[in-house]
């Protein structure tokens, strides 16, 4: 809704809502009062009860109370000498706008202070009164009903007087005036409050939120949201502001993540290069100092140096490949590959290499000899080598074991590489393919590695249209699974 439309609605609402509601409330209250008076006094009214027949109505109520008193006298007359009983009866009468006076012979045995000025004007015992009318006494024209009786225990004559309370005459009338005034004030207040809330909710509140949001952005806090309605100008402004905030937050989060990854990568590189360099330096210095004084020692020192240089070369190659992943510039050379022949060659190379590391390796292929996949042979080899390197790195058994199986699973082949290492905790399994994730930084840092090997595995497999996952049991070992889509003849 447009802002101009809201302002017009506010003006008309403030003008007409109070008038309409006050008129309806007043008519409803008058109708209710007419019904209440007719029910209370048995008088049929054709006019406003606030101005009609007040004396008749009060007299009617007084006669109703008189009937109640006569009933009580018939039940137990002696109670009308008890102050506690009379006080209780007085409380009931005062709620209805009347007071109670009891006189035995010429002595008043009970009278509330509100009517002490009228005691001298009370009629004598035995004074006759009309059945359907009430006497008026005092300057304020109090309505009076008199009930004469005799205390049976000592035959003392007594009178009970029911006197209207001049300060509470016609309580319904005062109640009606009060209720109407209250309703008028309430309607005005509610109308003003509702209009104020309406304006605040649709105009002031969004502006306050935008002001608060601007201050948060100024302070660098982007972790909040702004809601907006496309149907009005303020809402459209809120939506535009929220889009700006969201893009700023995404940019900031990407920068923070990138900085954190860069710091971690530098830290990993520093650690992983320092270890082999220190080893190479130590053995070179040993050669220079003449420690390798035999051909056998010299040969061993050179082999160790060679292996450490290969480790550094492998790490640099992995980091170079990672930089290509980060920029989506992996050079793939897809071709048809025979599954049996390809994985048999891989297994043969691995068996020779792993034997020197005291790791037992076996391989099984359960696919047909004609099964083909479309893949990059070099990159799939990288996947297998990264998985096996990771398994060996965390092997905790004296005799390591690795099993590689190739399975036929319908439209895909599934490769499983199982080890007997220490396993991976269930809480870590969903994250092991994330870049730089380490299940135990304090221990894994000692193992070496950049922390990107398995993330490279996932990237390559997914780029082949496959999927990679892991299952593991702590203390028993881990199974790495990945699937590649078969190449059918028509493809």
Give whole-number Cα distances, 178 to 55, 174, 451, in Å.
21, 6, 81
Task: Find the radius of gyration of the CA atoms of the chain.
Answer: 51
Which CATH architecture group holds 54-169?
A: 2-Layer Sandwich (3.30)
Which DSSP helix (H) or strand (E) runs through 196?
Answer: helix 171-199
Half-sphere CA count of 356, side-chain side, radius 13 A: 5
Q: So what's the pLDDT on residue 43? A: 52
What is the bridge-based pairing of β-strands 400-409 and 359-365?
parallel
Per-residue confidence of the chain (491 residues) as pLDDT tens digits?
565 666 667 767 776 777 777 777 777 766 776 676 566 555 555 555 544 445 666 777 788 888 899 999 999 999 999 999 999 999 998 888 889 999 998 899 999 998 888 888 888 898 887 665 556 666 666 788 899 999 988 899 999 999 986 555 455 556 666 777 777 778 778 877 777 777 777 777 777 888 888 888 888 888 888 777 666 777 778 888 888 888 888 888 877 876 776 676 666 667 667 778 888 888 888 888 888 888 888 888 898 888 888 778 877 777 777 666 666 667 788 999 999 999 999 999 898 888 878 889 999 999 998 999 999 999 999 899 999 988 988 888 888 899 999 999 999 999 999 999 888 988 888 888 887 676 654 434 445 555 678 888 998 999 999 999 999 998 889 999 999 999 875 54
| Beta-bridge partners for 472 | 478
Candidates 438, 459, 478, 428; CA nearest to 271 is: 438
| Beta-bridge partners for 102 | 110, 160
Give whole-number Cα distances, 313 to 149, 184, 273, 320, in Å.
125, 90, 10, 10
Tokens representing residue 397 in the block: 């058994």
What burial class does residue 99 get, using C-beta atoms within 10 Å of its C-beta: 0-12 exposed, 13-18 middle, 19+ buried? Answer: buried
Q: How many helices (H) and strands (E) does the chain have?
A: 11, 12
What is the bridge-based pairing of β-strands 477-485 and 107-110?
unpaired
State whether residue 147 is helix, strand or coil. strand
Query: Which residue ranges make up each domain of the chain?
Result: 3-47+174-209, 54-169, 230-272, 274-322, 333-485
d(CA 95, CA 248) in angstroms, rounded, equals 70
Secondary structure percentages of the chain, helix, strand, coil, to 5: 55, 15, 25
3.30.70.2190, 1.20.1090.10, 3.40.50.1110, 3.30.565.10: which CATH number matches 333-485? 3.30.565.10
Long-range contact pairs involving 236-239 (C-beta distance under 8 Å, separation at least 24): 237/206, 237/210, 238/206, 238/209, 238/210
Handedness of CA 167, 170, 176, 177 (dihedral sign): negative
Q: So what's the pLDDT on residue 443? A: 39
d(CA 343, CA 462) in angstroms, rounded, equals 19
Q: Per-residue DSSP letters for 47-70? A: S-TTTS-HHHHHHHHHHHHHHHHH
Which DSSP helix (H) or strand (E) runs through 475?
Answer: none
The arrangement of strands across the sheet holding 467-473 comes to 359-365, 400-409, 412-419, 477-485, 467-473
pTM, rounded to two decimals: 0.45
Q: With b meaning 16 or more CB within 10 Å and e meaning fewer, what string describes 460-489? A: bbeebebebebebeeeebbbbbbbbebbee
């Amino acid at each position: 809704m447009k802002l101009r439309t809201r302002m017009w609605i506010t003006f008309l609402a403030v003008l007409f809502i109070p008038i309409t509601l006050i008129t309806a409330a007043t008519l409803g209250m008058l109708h209710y009062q007419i019904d209440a008076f007719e029910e209370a006094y048995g008088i049929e009214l054709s006019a406003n009860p606030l101005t009609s027949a007040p004396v008749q109505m009060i007299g009617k109520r007084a006669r109703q109370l008189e009937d109640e008193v006569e009933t009580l006298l018939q039940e137990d007359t002696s109670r009308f000498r008890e102050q506690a009983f009379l006080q209780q009866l007085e409380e009931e009468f005062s709620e209805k706008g009347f007071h109670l006076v009891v006189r035995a012979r010429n002595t008043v045995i009970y009278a509330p202070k509100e009517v002490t000025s009228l005691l001298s004007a009370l009629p004598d015992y035995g004074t006759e009164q009309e059945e359907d009318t009430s006497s008026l006494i005092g300057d304020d024209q109090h309505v009076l009903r008199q009930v004469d009786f005799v205390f049976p225990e000592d035959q003392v004559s007594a009178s009970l007087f029911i006197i209207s309370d001049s300060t509470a005459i016609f309580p319904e009338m005062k109640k009606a005036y009060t209720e109407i005034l209250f309703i008028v004030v309430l309607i005005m207040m509610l109308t003003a409050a509702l209009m104020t809330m309406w304006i605040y909710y649709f105009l002031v509140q969004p502006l306050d939120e935008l002001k608060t949001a601007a201050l948060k952005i100024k302070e660098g806090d982007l972790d909040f949201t702004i809601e907006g309605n496309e149907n009005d100008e303020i809402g459209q402004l809120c939506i535009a502001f929220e889009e700006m905030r969201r893009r700023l937050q995404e940019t900031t989060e990407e920068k923070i993540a990138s900085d954190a990854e860069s710091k971690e990568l530098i830290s990993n590189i520093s650690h992983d290069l320092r270890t082999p360099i220190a080893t190479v330096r130590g053995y070179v210095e040993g050669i220079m100092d003449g420690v390798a004084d035999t051909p056998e020692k010299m040969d061993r020192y050179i082999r160790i140096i060679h292996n450490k240089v290969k480790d550094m070369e492998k790490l640099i190659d992995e980091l170079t490949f990672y930089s290509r992943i980060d920029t989506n510039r992996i050079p793939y050379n897809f071709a048809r590959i025979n599954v049996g022949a390809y994985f048999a060659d891989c297994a043969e190379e691995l068996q020779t290499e792993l034997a020197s590391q005291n790791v037992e390796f076996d391989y099984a292929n359960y696919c047909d000899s004609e099964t083909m996949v479309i893949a990059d042979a070099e990159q799939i080899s990288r996947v297998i080598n990264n998985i096996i390197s990771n398994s060996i790195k965390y092997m905790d058994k004296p005799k390591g074991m690795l099993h590689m199986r190739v399975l036929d699973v319908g439209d895909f082949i599934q490769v499983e590489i199982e080890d007997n290492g220490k396993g991976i905790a269930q809480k870590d399994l969903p994250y092991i393919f994330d870049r730089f994730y380490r299940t135990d930084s304090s221990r894994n840092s000692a193992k070496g590695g950049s922390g990107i090997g398995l993330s490279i595995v996932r990237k390559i497999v997914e780029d082949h249209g496959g999927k990679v996952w892991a299952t593991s049991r702590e203390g028993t070992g881990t199974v790495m699974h990945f699937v590649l889509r078969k190449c059918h003849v028509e493809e």
